Amino acid sequence: MFIDLHTHIDQYEPGELPGILSRAREADVGAIIAAGVTVESTRRCIQLANEFDHVFAGVGVHPSDLAGELDSATLDELRRLAADDRVVVMSEVGLDHQDRSPDRAMQERAFRAQIGIAREAELPVVFHMRFATADMLRVLREEHVSDLGGAAHYFQGDRDEAAAIIDLGCYISLAKPLLRLPELQEVARHLPLDSIVLETDCYPQPFKGKRENWTEPKDVPVVAAKLAELKAIDVAEVMEATTANALAMLGRRADRVAAVL
């Protein structure tokens, strides 16, 4: 089955979740990782992971959600949350250099601190890097993230950026932008299959109008089908490879995820 490496299903109304998870299972998406973006959302992700067998949690504060420096109390709470048995990644953490984002130096301090927690908990790092590729690669090198492993979430970069991330021992996480961006399709065509994982980054999308148009974990196979088309291989081969890659990235936590597939 597929693994959806990165979602925000904690942001949906609780009554939505049984249907979302049922539709995912029917689409052969057997495990879903819910990523935290604040301390509170991380708590919700862990709660969902404890409620639903096929959901696992990520711990983190998103760079755009920083309200200030991560103080010692917040870091201690993240450290405590990262120790939960249902947590499998440090996510969503990283850098975001778009306009009106929090101070870049503060973002970097927060990111480094959370990599430190990931190191203590032996968690791979799934990272956000909007308009921040050069700084992200620098921090990943300086913090030796290759020791932990991880993935570039919702990747939309070029071939050189993808190669640099892979050289650091991390995976390229592809989502629905693959369906509409010719430049990304060309990158994906040349990526080694053993360096790719899949995700949806799903969250409530009322701007799309009809509820049935919202992205959900059930859409992972759509991304897989596009990747299979680009590489001229069977979707089954994409499923097998990307699931194996995600489990390899999860390291010692892979068994608990594999058990639900």
Question: Which amino acid makes up residue 258?
Answer: A
For residue 31, the cross-strand partners are: 3
Tell me what pLDDT residue 63 has: 97
What are the tens digits of pLDDT across the range 71-82? 999 999 999 999
Query: What is the average pLDDT value for the chain, to the nearest integer?
Result: 97
Q: What is the pLDDT of residue 217?
A: 98
Quote the domain boundaries for residue 10. Answer: 2-258
Residue 68 has pLDDT above 90, yes or no: yes
What is the Cα–Cα distance from 166 to 146, expressed in whole angstroms?
Answer: 9
The total of structural domains in the chain comes to: 1
Residue among 14, 23, 3, 7 nearest 47 (CA): 14
Which pair of structure tokens corresponds to residue 146? 């290759």
Phi, psi (degrees; rounded to nearest 5) at 192: -65, 135
Across the range 77-100, mean pLDDT stands at 96
- 25 is written with which tokens? 């299972």
Q: What is the pLDDT of residue 53?
A: 97
Mapping DSSP onto H, E and C, the string for the chain reads CEEEEEECHHHCCHHHHHHHHHHHHHCCEEEEEEECCCHHHHHHHHHHHHHCCCEEEEECCCHHHCCCCCCHHHHHHHHHHHCCCCEEEEEEEEEECCCCCCCHHHHHHHHHHHHHHHHHHCCCEEEEEECCHHHHHHHHHHCCHHHCCEEECCCCCCHHHHHHHHHCCEEEEECHHHHCCHHHHHHHHHCCHHHEEECCCCCCCHHHCCHHHCCCHHHHHHHHHHHHHHHCCCHHHHHHHHHHHHHHHHHHHHHHHHCCC
User: Is the model's pLDDT at 25 over the cut of 90?
Assistant: yes
Instruction: Record the tokens describing residue 105, joined without a space.
Output: 């130096």
232-236: average pLDDT:
98
Non-local CB neighbours of 228 within 8 Å, separated by 6+ positions? 234, 235, 237, 238
The whole-number pLDDT of residue 164 equals 98
Q: Which residues contact 176 (CB under 8 A, 6 or more apart)?
A: 200, 215, 219, 222, 223
Instruction: List pLDDT tens digits, range 143-183.
Output: 999 999 999 999 999 999 999 999 999 999 999 999 999 99
* Interatomic CA distance for residues 24 and 3, integer angstroms: 10
- pLDDT, tens digit (0-9, with 9 covering 90-100), for 177-227: 999 999 999 999 999 999 999 999 999 999 998 999 999 999 999 999 999
CA end-to-end span of the chain = 6
CATH classification at residue 40 = 3.20.20.140
pLDDT above 90: residue 135:
yes
pLDDT of 102 reads 83
| Confidence (pLDDT) at 99 | 82
Render pLDDT for 98-112 as a digit per residue (tens, 0 to 9).
988 889 999 999 999
